[in-house]
Amino acid sequence: MSRIGRQPIDVPDKVEIEIMGSKVLVSGPKGKLDREIRPEIFLERNKDQIMVKAKDGTQRTRAFTGLTRTLINNMVIGVEKGFKKKLLVEGVGYRVEAKGNILNLSVGYSDVVAFPLPDGVSVGVEKNAVTLESIDKELLGQTAARVRAVRKPEPYKGKGIRYESEHIVRKAGKTKAK
């Protein structure tokens, strides 16, 4: 079994977990999440911990225990604290504006790109920083990647949309021939 799969999932007092066969429902102060788990995996519940177990000993099934444990742990963290991703928009004349659940990106194209946010993702904008928040880590990461794909950072001037922690390796531009 994977090392991550062997670790128990600690369940805080504020979080409720319901296990109904292969369906897991996690609810907490921030909201509710549910997920269907693989049939070859089962969950064992103690007082304030959940253990992920494999029904058989095949390598494939043991590998899924770590994935299942991580997915359920992310659900527990999400409904308790939530997740955030910060994107930075860099470039002369590049602007971002949030109107309801639509993110308007003015990033060098002839028209403003209207990016609709999925349900469950909220946005905050200040100057050139976009902060996306959600209780679903998978949905948040996918949404942030799609926003970044509107204008990926380019290596010469660094213009574009990038993650806050992302480092863009710069290239030297053209030099004039003598």
Alpha-carbon span 134 to 132, nearest angstrom = 7
My answer on whether 39 and 111 are in the same domain is no
Residue 149 in any domain: the answer is yes
Residue 53 in any domain: the answer is yes
Above 70 in pLDDT, residue 12?
yes
pLDDT of residue 3: 85
Residue 171 in any domain: the answer is no
Both structure tokens of 94: 């590049």
End position of a domain, from candidates 22, 51, 80? 80
End position of a domain, from candidates 25, 59, 80? 80
- Residue 62: which CATH number? 3.90.930.12
Confidence of residue 30 (pLDDT cuts 50, 70, 90): very high
Alpha-carbon span 4 to 19, nearest angstrom = 20
My answer on whether 88 and 147 are in the same domain is yes
39 closest CA partner among 63, 64, 16, 17: 64
pLDDT > 70: what percent of the chain? 98
pLDDT per residue as tens digits for the range 74-110: 999 999 999 999 999 999 999 999 998 999 999 999 9
My answer on whether 140 and 92 are in the same domain is yes
Residue 60 in any domain: the answer is yes
pLDDT of residue 149: 95
My answer on whether 70 and 116 are in the same domain is no
My answer on whether 100 and 57 are in the same domain is no
Alpha-carbon span 136 to 81, nearest angstrom = 11
Domain that holds residue 49: 3-80
| Total domains present in the chain | 2
My answer on whether 96 and 129 are in the same domain is yes
pLDDT per residue as tens digits for the range 139-149: 999 999 999 99
pLDDT per residue as tens digits for the range 48-57: 899 999 988 8
End position of a domain, from candidates 51, 80, 109? 80
First to last CA, the chain: 64
